[in-house]
């Protein structure tokens, strides 16, 4: 169950180059949303010794099928396929919330629920990055916020930290720098506790972006440099290039978008 769900954010160039648009567009880097829910569903099916009803077993199998279909649709990368993926995820979500499922698998069902919520949020964010619709970004926020207390209650600290990361970047898209900073700093504490250097660096860079957009350039530079130091330590060459681009954009924002595109 160690495999992680990868959330791929779209990165696209935009015609008008401003400091805020560059930083909001290039929230580069991904955080994962925890163990793969469909794998947990499969484990429930194949390793449980509980005597469940046929309805429960059928529901778990249906969850796996719907979730897999949603993942396949998500990878197609079109607005239409993403909308279809959301519909499949929603169906899977309703299964994870069934009382008989929760009774049979109290903790596993809540993991499936939270993992599915995060995935729905991420698809909405994909749509936002493609269409720049704040309504879709707001929907992403709502799903992430539903998942967060589940991770906390059932003690999944890594997943909780990752969801704070998603909330932070989503709030930043909505122009709520204060809430973004709160969630980035929450995420940072989790990643440091588990010694996850990659996500620590991404989060430090995210904090730098909040300060950068807020024109607190000295603080932005400080956090970018902290991120850069970690990326150098772990050999994240691509990450170093992007962070260096952001550092240079503090003095010269006009070339930032081209610099980051080349780095990626």
Query: Which of 155, 182, 217 is where one domain is finished?
Result: 155
- Does residue 8 lie in a domain region? no
Query: Which of 134, 155, 176 is where one domain is finished?
Result: 155
* Band of pLDDT at residue 253, cut at 50, 70 and 90: confident
Q: Are residues 139 and 162 in the same domain?
A: no
DSSP run (H or E) holding 23: helix 19-25
- Does residue 3 lie in a domain region? no
Query: Which of 125, 155, 185 is where one domain is finished?
Result: 155
Give the mean pLDDT of the chain: 82
Q: Are residues 178 and 232 in the same domain?
A: yes
- Determine how many CB atoms are found less than 10 A away from the CB of residue 79: 12
- Does residue 6 lie in a domain region? no
Residue with tokens 């995060």: 118
- Determine how many CB atoms are found less than 10 A away from the CB of residue 161: 26
- Does residue 4 lie in a domain region? no
- Does residue 2 lie in a domain region? no
pLDDT per residue as tens digits for the range 115-163: 999 999 999 999 998 888 889 999 999 999 999 999 999 999 999 999 9
Does residue 231 surpass a pLDDT of 60?
yes
Q: Are residues 251 and 235 in the same domain?
A: yes
Q: Provide the residue range defining the domain that includes 204.
A: 15-31+158-264
Q: Are residues 150 and 243 in the same domain?
A: no
Q: Are residues 53 and 74 in the same domain?
A: yes
- Does residue 7 lie in a domain region? no
* Band of pLDDT at residue 251, cut at 50, 70 and 90: confident
Cβ neighbourhood burial of 262 (10 Å; 0-12, 13-18, 19+): exposed
The predicted model scores a pTM of 0.83
97-122 residues labelled b (16+ CB within 10 A) or e (exposed): eeeebbebbeebbbbbbbbbbbbbbb
* Cβ within 8 Å of residue 150, ≥6 positions away: 110, 111, 113, 114, 117
Q: Which residues pair with 4 in a beta bridge?
A: 35
> Residues 117, 147: contact at Cβ < 8 Å?
yes
- Does residue 169 lie in a domain region? yes
Q: Are residues 44 and 149 in the same domain?
A: yes
Domain count, the chain: 2
Bigger pLDDT: 29 or 63?
63
149/179 Cα distance (integer angstroms): 17
User: What whole-number percentage of the chain has pLDDT above 70?
Assistant: 78
Give me the CATH number covering residue 166: 1.25.40.10
Q: Are residues 146 and 169 in the same domain?
A: no
- Does residue 223 lie in a domain region? yes
Q: Are residues 27 and 39 in the same domain?
A: no
Tokens (6 digits) for 175: 């122009």
Tokens (6 digits) for 51: 């005597």
């Amino acid at each position: 169950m160690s495999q992680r769900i990868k959330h791929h954010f779209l990165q696209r160039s935009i015609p008008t180059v401003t400091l805020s648009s560059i930083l909001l567009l290039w929230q580069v880097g991904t955080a994962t949303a925890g163990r793969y829910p469909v794998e947990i569903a499969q484990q429930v099916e194949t390793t449980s010794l509980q005597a469940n009803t046929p309805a429960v077993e059928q529901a778990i199998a249906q969850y796996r099928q719907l979730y897999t279909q949603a993942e396949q649709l998500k990878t197609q990368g079109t607005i239409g396929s993403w909308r279809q993926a959301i519909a499949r995820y929603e169906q899977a979500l309703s299964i994870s919330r069934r009382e008989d499922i929760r009774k049979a698998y109290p903790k596993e069902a809540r993991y499936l629920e939270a993992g599915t919520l995060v995935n729905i949020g991420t698809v909405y964010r994909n749509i936002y990055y493609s269409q720049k619709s704040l309504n879709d970004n707001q929907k992403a926020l709502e799903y992430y916020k539903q998942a967060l207390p589940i991770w906390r209650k059932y003690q999944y600290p890594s997943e909780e930290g990752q969801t704070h990361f998603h909330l932070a970047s989503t709030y930043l898209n909505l122009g709520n720098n204060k809430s973004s900073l709160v969630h980035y700093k929450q995420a940072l504490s989790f990643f440091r506790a588990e010694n996850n250097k990659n996500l620590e660096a991404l989060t430090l860079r995210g904090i730098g972006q909040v300060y950068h957009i807020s024109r607190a350039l000295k603080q932005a530079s400080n956090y970018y440099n902290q991120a850069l130091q970690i990326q150098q330590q772990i050999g994240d060459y691509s990450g170093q290039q992007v962070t260096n681009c952001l550092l240079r954009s503090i003095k010269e924002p006009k070339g930032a978008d081209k610099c980051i595109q080349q780095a990626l």
